[in-house]
């Protein structure tokens, strides 16, 4: 029997490589605000933590008073460009196909808003793989709170002990721990703290297809 009956994916940095579209859209918004451009590295650090931390990374403390202005400018720009260059990470499509063939439940838990999530999944032709999509729009508390993961377990009738959360940031790993589910750190993702997160995660995988090994049989954690 499979070790896990449900695999929950983070979106940005785990399922989909979105950094180019986020980076380009951020700088278009900053240009409209007559603010300095940011680097790709700064943009990558902003992806994932949630809307408040996202803005702190982009604007810096000294421009936080312009946060609402930034949101109003950035959102329509990003919604127009969120599918320009975004792509599945190598190995993700074969993983989704194999998990579907094994009748594993699939879900997404992302701190992205619903309005920016569905268009990307539709453009990449993977929306139909997922039984449930949880975004920050559907819960009171985004990751690292466990709300999305616990809601997914409840709605799909899968107990936490049969659930695996795959993500690339501390928010994913901490949310999994808070929900009582196993976590797999996606080493191909955007986090700058992979070494520390590897110690927190139940498992660490360097390629999406390695997730199949976790599904097939119980293996020692962090190997």
Q: Which residues of 90-106 are buried (b: 16+ CB within 10 A; e: fewer)?
A: eebeebbeebeeeebbb
Tell the residue number behind the tokens 């127009």, with chain if given. Answer: 80
Asked if residue 47 lies in contact with residue 12, where contact means CB atoms within 8 angstroms, the answer is yes
Q: Which of 10, 12, 17, 168 is catalytic?
A: 10
E strand intervals along the chain: 6-9, 16-17, 87-88, 105-109, 132-134, 163-167, 182-186, 203-205
CA nearest neighbour of 150 among 106, 181, 118? 181
CA nearest neighbour of 184 among 156, 220, 211? 211
Annotation marks residue 10 as catalytic: yes
Which residues participate in catalysis according to the annotation?
Answer: 10
């Amino acid at each position: 029997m499979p070790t896990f009956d449900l695999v929950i994916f983070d979106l940005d940095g785990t399922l989909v490589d979105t950094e180019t579209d986020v980076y380009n859209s951020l700088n278009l918004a900053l240009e409209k605000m007559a603010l300095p451009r940011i680097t790709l590295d700064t943009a990558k650090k902003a992806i994932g933590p949630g809307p408040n931390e996202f803005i702190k990374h982009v604007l810096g403390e000294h421009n936080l008073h312009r946060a609402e202005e930034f949101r109003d400018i950035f959102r329509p720009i990003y919604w127009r460009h969120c599918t320009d260059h975004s792509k599945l990470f190598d190995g993700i499509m074969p993983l989704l196909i194999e998990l579907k063939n094994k009748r594993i439940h699939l879900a997404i838990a992302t701190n992205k808003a619903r309005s920016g999530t569905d268009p990307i999944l539709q453009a990449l032709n993977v929306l139909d793989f997922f039984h449930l999509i949880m975004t920050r729009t559907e819960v009171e508390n985004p990751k690292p709170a466990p709300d999305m993961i616990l809601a997914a377990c409840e709605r799909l009738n899968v107990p936490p002990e049969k659930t695996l959360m795959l993500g690339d940031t501390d928010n994913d790993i901490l949310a999994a721990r808070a929900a009582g589910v196993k976590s797999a750190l996606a080493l191909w993702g955007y986090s700058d703290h992979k070494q520390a997160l590897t110690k927190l995660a139940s498992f660490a995988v360097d390629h999406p297809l390695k997730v199949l090994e976790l599904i097939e049989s119980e293996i020692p954690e962090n190997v």
